[in-house]
Every structure is written in C-alpha cells, then in structure tokens.
Chains A and B, each alone.
Chain A
Amino acid sequence: MRLRRVEVSRWLSAAAAVTAFAVGLGACADDRQPSAAGATDFKEIADEARGQTVRWWMYGGDERINDYVDSVVAPAARRAGIELERVPVADTADAVQRVVAQRRAGETSGGAVDLIWINGENFAAGKQAGLWLDGWTRRLPNAALVDFEDPSINRDLRVPIDGQELPWSRAAFVYAYDQKRTPTPPSTFDQLLDYARAHPGRVTYPAPPDFTGTSFVKQAVIAKGADEGFNYLAELKPLMWQQGERFPKSEAELNRLFANGEVDFAMSFDPSFIASEVRKGEFDESVRPFLLEGGALVNTSYVTIPADAANAAGAQVVADLLLDPRLQAQKADPARLGIPTVLDLDRLDPTDRRRFQGSVASPYLLDDFGDVKSELGADQVRPLEERWTREILR
C-alpha cells in the first residue's frame, strides 16, 4: 500500500495527462479523417479487438518506457476495451525465438506473441521468412499522421517496411561527454582520434555484434568509406581503453565505464539515454550530449505483429494508439521521456501540434539532430561485424 501511494504521488502528472486524454478522447473520436474504406475496416478491427488481451513483447530494462506503457498506453488501451499485457524481455531475440518456435511447430494462429517492439535485423530476417502480418499498417487511422514517404521511415535498415511494421518512435545516435572531464568534446571522427592521442586509454566503444557497437562502426564507415573507416578503427585501437585489447560487450557496460570515470565518452541509439542514466543516478548531472560529423545517424523504432498472433486485431488497435498525438507528446516531453516523436508535425491539427511545442528543454537532450545520416542496409550488417572481428578484434 505504501508503495502504491508513492507511485501515485510520483506519477501525478501522468494521471492528470491521462484524465485529460480520457476527456479528450470522447470529444475527438470523430476528428480522424482517413479514407472512408479505411475507417470501416478499422471499425471492424476495433470491434473485434474489444475484450482481447494483447501481449506486447518488448525490452524490459528501461523503467521509464515500462512506466510509459503501463501508465499511459495501457489505460488508453483499456478505454478501447483491450487489456494490454507488457511482456518484458531482455532482448528482442527472445520474442523472435518464441515466434520462430511457433512457426517451426507448424502453428498458424493462436500465437502467444501479439506485438513486438522489433529491431531492424530481426525484422528483415523475419520478413524474408514470412513471419509478420502484412497489409495492416496503412489503414490505421493514426497512420495518416506519419510521413511514409520519408525514407528513414518507410525503410528499416533499407528494407522496405511494406505493411508489416509500424513506426512508433524515433531513434538517433548520440554521444555523451562529461563537462567536468572534457570541456570541449570532439565534433568529428578525426577529432576523436586526436582526442584519443592526447588522452590515451580514455576512449572506447562496445564490441560488435552488440547493436550500439555495430552502429558506431557503421558511422565510421559512413563518414569515411569502408576501407578508410576500418583503417581509422585500426589506428584508433592502440589508443583506446586497455589498448584496445578489451572492449565493453554492451552499451550498458560502456555506460558503467563512463559513469565510473574509466572512459570519457558514452554512446547510444536512445537520444534520451543521458536523461535516463542521470535519473538512475548513474551519470553525473554534468553529462551532456554531442554529435559527430555534424549529424546523427537516425533510425526509427517499429512494432510488428506476427502473422500467427492470437489477438491481431487488438494488437493493431494498440499500435494505432501508440501513434496518437497525445501519447506521442507525452513520450516526447523532455520532462517525461524525451524520445522524439515519429509523427509529421505538419499533418497534425493545431491543438495537437501545440502539444509538441513549448516544453522546457532539457540539457540532457538534443533538440536538433543536425544533418542526419542514413542507415546502411540490413545485408551489410553481418559482413561489417565479421570484418570488424577479423581486422580489429583478433
């Protein structure tokens, strides 16, 4: 009981927002204007979804996102008659493994996974194997608010998303530095190398095939070209932490090193990770974000529905809710999560658009990702990782 009270008092703002949302939902239900056919289709789906329990398998290690789903998305789903069950996993592969097992067992319906917060490589491989439900994304009412012409949205690691996955969040690769230790962070890869020369043993990155590490290597390759990029990494290696003989195995491990003052930079695809780590008491309050090469590698986070999902209708309704401007605004609010929205602000009506403006900027978040870089293809990832293992690790 005591804990409940503490929770409620801490999330008072969430309660207020949800109340406002509840009041607004009734009034705004008719303001959606997708195509007429789309509206009818979705109405059938929404009716079918009523009473369903949707199991959303998603990474469970981020307390803020868990709270967002539990206290913002789940109540909204409940209002649509859906019970949203968040299934926490340590890695997306756990969810994909369940779906693959179902496929191998010959199951075509009644699957235990209704919705997955999926990553690009697993999406690409699953798409090739025909694991994902198709053709459901565009007819969702809130899909009209997303700019599907944007190549960083309609392609996930350059694989066309078709109708098989729906964007729900933005990701951008940012770096972190501590103002107390590093007055001026480098702004290009070459400057990073100079920094490593001046401060040997203070720079490192996670080893591929960790996702963050692979993304760092990708950026080096994008900035300098394949061979030049690997020459750069080879040159950097002896100047790195532990002379490059040892790498952190994950982004989390690098965060620990950075927090403990062993190295001077951290990095993540979550643009709000500094805010998150400060909140957890891991990073010092003097940590700030920065970019390399004038722009972040930008990515989109998607949800997908397995083709054999037991509650596909409910999953689609939940996916649609994720794109609701109110929910997106709460996610983007720097005071809450600060994760950028995937909605096209120009497509919103003025009331909704105002939700995304006027919030107090946070020193831990970048409001501008500069000259954004585009991702490499999904088929280039493994060769890159293997080349890195060959040339740098061994």
Chain B
Amino acid sequence: MSERRTRLLVGVLAALFIAPLMVLLVQAFADSWRAPGVLPDQLGWRGFEVAFGSARAGDALVNSLLVAFAATAISLVLGWPAARVLGMRRLPRNGFVFLLIGLPLLMPPYLAGFGLTEWFIRLGIDDSLAGIVLAHVTFALPYAILILLSGFNREVEALEEMAATTGAGPARRLAWVTLPALRPTLIAAALLSFLVSWSQYGTSLAVGAGRPTLPIVMLPFIQTDPEVAAALALVFLAPCIVALAFVARLQRTPL
C-alpha cells in the first residue's frame, strides 16, 4: 500500500479509535462539564482523589494485575499442549472436546452469576484471590486455546519435522522452531487472555466475595459519577494500552 494511503488509513483509524477514548482523558479531569459546552467548564482533581481515595483504585489495581498475570500464565501453560494436539493432529470425534472448550465462550457471561459462585463455594475455592484466578482461567483458557490453535498448522509441523530430521530433540525443537514460529499467535493469545481476565466483573465480585478489582470498583460509578468513572477507566485502560504497545513492538512486521 502506498505511503499516502497508509497515512490516510492511519489518520482515519486514529480518529475513529483513539479520539473517542480521548474523551475519557478529558472527563477524568472535568469537575464540571455541562451541555452545551464542548469543553469542560471546570477542571480539577476530584476524579482521581476519589478514585485513589475511597474507591481504592490502588488496591484494585494490584489485585487485578496479580490475577490477570496468573490467569494468563495458567491459560497459556495449559492451553499450549491442548492447542497443539487439536491444531496439528486431526483427531476424529473431537467435537466433544471443542464443545467443552467452547462452552465458557458460548455461554452468556452474565450466566456465570447464576451457577459459578455456588459451584466454587461447594469446591471451597471461593473467597480468595486464587478463586478469582480460577474463575478467570475458566474464561481465558478457551480463548488461549482457540487462538493458539490457529498457529499450529502444517507449516509448523513441517518445520518441526525438518528439525527432527536434523537430530534436534524435543526441547530444542520447541525452543528453536515451534516457539518462534508461533510467536505472533502466542503473543495474541497472551494478550487476549490478559484482557479477558482484566475485564471480568460478575465472577470476580461474587467468587472473590468483595475483594476489589478494577472493574468492581469502577462499575458503580458508571453513569452516576462520570468524572470518577472516567478516572477509574483511565487507571483500568493504562495497563491495557501498555500491553498493547508492548505487543506492537514485539510484532514488528517483517517486510
């Protein structure tokens, strides 16, 4: 694509995707922003004062980060071998496995409120950060598997076979062939698992029995207090943007 068209596309994308988010940045500092003003009437710090004060954004941020990293790690570790088998070996009658993996994705998220909590209480894993992690893994693991699946294809298989014929052992093949070949897929899977965990609300609240996470502390302020909600939203989005930027750097496209 030509240089000019690329720039045009970037401009359109930026206007469409970045600009609307900018409103959060403005709203977080808008002590007063009434119609018909296009800009706030009054700026101030109330949003962040409340966010890090009574709304405990700091605690929530720590919890959310711990849980998201743990859930992502577990999802990738468990999902990798599963995706490999499902992606490379065309096994018969694997529909049942796919159904099991797909169920948490296909069921409405809101349904979790009507059964997950009770089940986790019966299992004794509720009322703890570990319980929240497991609840998040339930939803992140299917994403990880499905995305990793798309990376395990015939090319990778062929590459591994080639490496095997040159005498490379399984660990070598993994480190030097498979992982590099699946790098973009692995990164996408990690990113999405992280985001899935990051955005969980209902399961976190009920299973965690009130431990603060960012969605939990943010939701009550949505609609009722836009300034505080925007401040919390920025705290919520910051790690996501960092993750996205990190991923962008890793995914430098070869040309």
Residue numbers of A with Cβ under 8 A of B are 3, 6-7, 10, 55, 57, 59-63, 66-67, 70, 85, 87-90, 94, 97-98, 101-102, 104-107, 112-113, 250, 252-253, 255-256, 259-262, 280-282, 284
Contacts and interface: CB of A to CB of B under 8 A. Distances in A.
Contact of A89 (B48, B127, B205, B226): B205
Nearest to A107: B121
Contacts of A106: 122
B254 interface: no
B53 A112 contact: no
B69 interface: no
Nearest to B119: A105
Given A70-B54, A256-B223, 15 more contacts: A3-B48, A61-B220, A61-B222, A61-B224, A66-B54, A66-B55, A88-B212, A90-B220, A90-B222, A105-B121, A112-B126, A112-B209, A113-B210, A260-B34, A284-B34
A67 B54 contact: yes
Nearest to B215: A90
A284 to B, nearest CB: 7
A59 B45 contact: no
Given A63-B228, A261-B35, A281 B210 contact: no
Contacts of A62: 224-225
Contact of B225 (A63, A90, A104): A63
10 contacts: A3-B48, A59-B220, A60-B55, A62-B224, A63-B225, A67-B53, A90-B219, A105-B118, A105-B122, A280-B46
B217 interface: yes
Contacts of B118: 101-102, 104-105
B187 interface: no
Interface string B136-147: 000000000000
Interface stretch (B25-33, B88-96, B175-183, B233-241): B25-33
Given A85-B210, A101-B121, A281 B42 contact: yes
Q: Which of B32, B41, B222 has the most CB of A within 10 A?
A: B32
Contacts of B224: 61-62, 252, 255
Given A62-B224, A250-B223, A98 B30 contact: no
B52 A3 contact: yes
Given A7-B53, A88-B216, A105-B118, A261 B227 contact: no
A67 B220 CA distance: 15
